[in-house]
Structure 1
Amino acid sequence: MNVNTYRRSISVWTTALLAATAILVPAGVVHASETDVVNANEISDAVADAAPVANVQQPDANTHTGDLVYTAGEIDITVPTAPDQGLVVDTPGPMEALELGLPNNEAHGELTLADDGTAVYVDSDGLADIAVQVLDDGLRVSTILHSAESPEEYVYDLPEGTTAELLNDGSLLVISGEDLAGAVAPPWAKDSNGASVPTRYEVTAEGFVQIVEHHGAGFEYPIVADPSYSYCALGGWYPAMCVKYNRSEVAFMASIVAGGAGAGAVGAHLCTRAPHLAIRAACIAAVATLTWANLKAITDAQSQRRCLSFAFTYPPVAQLLSGGLRVVRC
């Protein structure tokens, strides 16, 4: 869900496209009943209410097995008809495609495509549905908990040779061999009133688990819990971790540029968000090399009321750190 990425370039798993005539719809979706589609739309609406995003993708195509194929930036993502098959994330570069298991999928039916492009798997036991959304920079997998009987643990398996590393902010790095295969944003969970539900990740030998502590706490259902997986590459090929800076952070950096403080002051602010101490040290050593084009990206983002993404290389390669600042949608 790839090579180096930062967990804040969040988001991970569904896709939408309005040009329905250009989409080959898989057999499982073609034969979905009207009731299935209504249910899928209700589930996607619950996710949108909890955490709205404007960049959910529609599938580009389908395979002969009925799986959906999405494109998220440089990533191709296959969302399977059967939930026990796992999501397949194919990224540029030499790394093999990565398979990410869907959580607690034993009782879930086959994929139904919601109108907005969300791929939905309904739990036949009525405990916790799965919604997969493909975004511009990765995937978002949401679990929709329907009652106090719903489990508190949701298991995400990674392939052999791939591990998760838990960081201090609660996010995860996904590492395949010696390469960074992606990142998972800090977890969140909200009930139907918008109240935050305590949640965290725990790393296991097979992958990671999202813990959602909702039992006996008086929360209103449904509860939406969401890990978001993201990927980026510097120059389209070099593994990196991408950090997104919001509008207020962009405004602060733009004020530094306008004040003539120079690349060093801007870079120092960028480096505070580096996800790893070694990368932060390499970033600080490289800030003086920030180019005019990078500084212009800051002023462009400010004038367009957009956000910024900065690619930190991993392992840190100082000479590449200065080339990864770009304007993105918030």
Structure 2
Amino acid sequence: MKKVLLIILSGLLIFPSNLVSATGVSTDKSRAKILSQSIEKQTGVSDIIKSNLNEDIYTDNTSIYLPNNGTDNVKISDLENKKDSFEIILPKEANNSTPKTSANGTIVYNNEVNNNANIALQPTNDGIRSLVIINNLSASKEYTFGFNLPKGSRLITAKEYLGAEYDTKEVYVVNEDNIITSIISPPWAKDANGSKVPTYYKVEGNKLIQVVEFTKKNAFPIVADPSAWKVTKCITSITLILASVALPALKIVKIKKYIKELGGIKMTVMLLMGTANAKEKVATIGALAAEISGITDIHDNCF
């Protein structure tokens, strides 16, 4: 069973334009440097893969191609199964921009024509972390990532895939067999005071739209960032169970319930594999483990 690629699209940075101009310069290079430093302060840099644009980055069984123009697409290639390869179309705010790469590997697509918002990317060991940089209150509250998917694949929300009662706020890429091949982590946002800013995804066909409901009451900058995570075959094993007709319906319902309580499929697998601290979720992870312990594929790939 192949490894699943995690695509992280929910990183978000809202950044005031007056901070950018505080240096007294507005060159493309200096502005990109300030933005990348602010992003890296929130995301950290330990998991970023330093790369050259227009070259493939290899991570496990996947290669990632980052364009040297924001109008071009990010290409995700599955080296084991070419038919699961796809492309990501960056939001229009990246159009016609020449990216600047920081010393740590953050790539800022700095569009000087539209300073309301910019796009940044961080390639990691697990996929792509994407960040929207919102510079002022005149910026859009919606940012659209397009997906060129393989034939038969589609985007689907966790609400639709798992059911409204078990919605984890994730978005999945599923193949023609309705098996998850990529995960987009739930979005979140906080302002400079640590207050949460409402943010969520909309899916329209093969478009993923991140909505950020910031207001003039928010303190800038506002930062949201999901941690990168190493995905394993365990995800595929669990999603095959969710699509199974061989297991009792009640068991599948229980598994979905525990997945929601644990924070989504990604977090569930992290807890099962011991790569996250269970803390107050010890009882729930134990209950889930009891439900799936007798399933051979789960045992082989998750424990």
Q: Alignment length, in residue pairs? A: 246
Q: Which has the higher helix share?
A: 2
CA contact (8 A) 1:37 1:113 kept: no
CA contact (8 A) 1:50 1:190 kept: no
2:300 partner SS: coil
1:188 partner SS: coil
Counterpart check, 1:180 vs 2:180: yes
Alpha-carbon distance change, 151 to 13 in structure 1, aligned in 2, over 3 angstroms: closer
Alpha-carbon distance change, 204 to 230 in structure 1, aligned in 2, over 3 angstroms: farther
Q: Pick one of 94, 99, 109 that aligns with 1:111.
A: 99
Cα distance in structure 1, aligned partners of 2:8 and 2:94: 24
Cα distance in structure 2, aligned partners of 1:232 and 1:193: 32
1:144 partner SS: strand
For 1:1-330, list aligned pairs within 5 A: 5=4, 11=8, 35-52=27-44, 54-59=46-51, 62=52, 66-96=53-83, 97-105=85-93, 107-124=95-112, 125-160=114-149, 161=151, 162-167=153-158, 168-178=167-177, 179-214=179-214, 216-224=215-223, 232-234=231-233, 242=266, 243-245=269-271, 247-249=276-278, 268-270=287-289, 284=291, 286-288=292-294, 318-325=295-302
- The alpha carbon displacement at 1:238 in A equals 8.1
Moved more, 100-109 or 133-142: 100-109
- The alpha carbon displacement at 1:122 in A equals 0.8
- The alpha carbon displacement at 1:100 in A equals 1.1
* AA at the equivalent of 1:321: I
1:169 partner SS: coil
Cα distance in structure 1, aligned partners of 2:200 and 2:62: 27
* Aligned residue in 1 for 2:261: none
- The alpha carbon displacement at 1:54 in A equals 2.5
CA contact (8 A) 2:188 2:199 kept: yes
Where structure 2 has 5 or more consecutive residues not aligned to the other structure, the ranges are: 12-25, 159-166, 240-264
* AA at the equivalent of 1:39: R
Alpha-carbon distance change, 270 to 109 in structure 1, aligned in 2, over 3 angstroms: farther
* AA at the equivalent of 2:293: V
Cα distance in structure 1, aligned partners of 2:94 and 2:285: 49
* AA at the equivalent of 1:156: F
Moved more, 170-179 or 132-141: 170-179
Cα distance in structure 2, aligned partners of 1:134 and 1:239: 26
1:322 partner SS: helix
Cα distance in structure 1, aligned partners of 2:197 and 2:187: 10
Cα distance in structure 2, aligned partners of 1:226 and 1:72: 21
Alpha-carbon distance change, 155 to 182 in structure 1, aligned in 2, over 3 angstroms: same
Cα distance in structure 2, aligned partners of 1:113 and 1:244: 30
1:218 partner SS: coil
CA contact (8 A) 1:121 1:130 kept: yes
The alignment-based identity, stated in percent, is: 22
1:112 partner SS: strand
- The alpha carbon displacement at 1:107 in A equals 4.4
* AA at the equivalent of 2:35: I
